[in-house]
Structure 1
Amino acid sequence: MTSLSKQIQAAPIGHPAYSQTFPCQPETAEIGRKLVRDALAVWRLDDLADRAVLIMSELIANAVRHTPYPSIRLMVGRPSAVRVRIGVVDRAPSRLPVLSPADADDESGRGLLLIDAIADRWGYDLCRSRSRVWAKEVWAELLKEAGQ
């Protein structure tokens, strides 16, 4: 099992973020959950942890299921004092996420529906290098509510 190789530390300026590449395997979900909890603890945003952990787990599960490449990049960022962004980058940009209803007897296919229900917003960005699209990041954002 791969473990986090660096301690998470809040950046003193700019937008703090953490990212690292891991195997595209179901076991990576445990690492992703720890990454999210550790980052949110450093940023004192523990109240977002339960939703953030669930989002990271679902994003990793989708990448594992739909990506034929051996690795993915996990990302946790803090674009503002009250916003957290959780993302997974994979090298299958032609396989875009689609929000679609699952039938009652389906055993899978509800991950994006769950993310849509608990995230403040979500989407994907294509990663380009010159004129070539080489990857995509599927992401979700959570906002810290006033008074929390």
Structure 2
Amino acid sequence: MDGCRFGVERKKWELPFLAEAEELAGLRRVMRLHLGLWGLHSMVDAAQICVTELVGNVVKHVGAGTPTCLTVSMNGGHLRIEVSDPDGQALPTLVKASGLAEGGRGIALVDGVAARWGVILRGDSKVTWCELATGLLTADGHVRGVQVAKVEALLGLCGLGERRGSSRHELLSVTEAAQAATGLIADLLHWLRAHGFDVDEALDRAQLHFEAEAEAEAV
């Protein structure tokens, strides 16, 4: 992470909805989409578990159709997930489910995947929250990796890692970083064509190579 020239902007977002069992699949898709945009692909499964169980807890103990809000943000290097509802009485508790019991496992699952969790009472409402360790050093950092580090160094050598007109080091936004990286890819394609290579074939081979490495990282 040290020496990173590009910051991934991760603004807090909120999604109001009515707590229904039928909404859970959609909430999981929303989490996958947003975490993908944040570059936190490895956090998707754990985050989906937490959202499913926290919202399921509202459906079961507060009631179906309850006005609820999902809030997702970064707290330093932790991904923070909050589920708020208008009931300050039905508090989630960590219980040890026995044997084949189907109930009582929700908060236990959250406790198992989250670094920490808790409940904030706000008068006649509450917020149940949990935080997942991402391995990032900062809220706007990105995942480590040999390939990522190589590109960071290359962008720096090409002079693409500093904001123009700035007299001090500042992180570039993810949009600026994407523009810089896209420009570098285009330059590489020009280089390949100038040396007689088929650009489309190079792009296809690069895509296959990337997918193979991404699949290996996910295992």
Distance (whole Å) between structure 1 residues aligned to residue 124 and residue 37 of structure 2: 32
Q: Name the counterpart of 1:70.
A: 66
Alignment of 1:82-121 (within 5 A): 82-121=77-116
What is the total number of aligned residue pairs between the two structures? 130
Q: Name the counterpart of 1:130.
A: none
Question: Is the contact between residue 12 and residue 73 of structure 2 (CA under 8 Å) also seen in structure 1?
Answer: yes
Q: Name the counterpart of 2:180.
A: none
Distance (whole Å) between structure 1 residues aligned to residue 66 and residue 110 of structure 2: 24
Match of 2:50 among 17, 41, 55: 55
Alignment of 1:140 with 2:130, yes or no, is yes
| Aligned residue identity for 1:143 | A
Give the helix-richer structure, 1 or 2: 2
- Which consecutive aligned stretches of 4+ in structure 1 deviate over 3 angstroms post-superposition? none
What's the secondary structure of 1:98's corresponding residue?
coil
Contiguous gaps of at least 5 residues in structure 1: 1-10, 128-132
Question: Is the contact between residue 28 and residue 60 of structure 1 (CA under 8 Å) also seen in structure 2?
Answer: no
Q: Give the alignment's Cα RMSD to 1 decimal.
A: 1.9
What's the secondary structure of 1:27's corresponding residue?
helix
TM-score w.r.t. the length of structure 1 is: 0.80
Identity %: 30
Distance (whole Å) between structure 1 residues aligned to residue 71 and residue 28 of structure 2: 11
| Aligned residue identity for 2:70 | L
1:79, distance to aligned residue in structure 2 (A)? 2.3
What's the secondary structure of 2:28's corresponding residue?
helix
TM-score w.r.t. the length of structure 2 is: 0.55
Contiguous gaps of at least 5 residues in structure 2: 1-7, 137-143, 146-219
Query: How far does the alpha carbon of each residue in 1:21-72 deviate from its partner, in whole angstroms, 9 at most, with x for none?
Result: 1111101212221221122112111111110011100111101001136311
The structure that has the greater radius of gyration is 2
Give the strand-richer structure, 1 or 2: 1
Query: How far does the alpha carbon of each residue in 1:52-104 deviate from its partner, in whole angstroms, 9 at most, with x for none?
Result: 01110011110100113631111111222x21111211111111111111121
Question: Is the contact between residue 75 and residue 88 of structure 1 (CA under 8 Å) also seen in structure 2?
Answer: yes
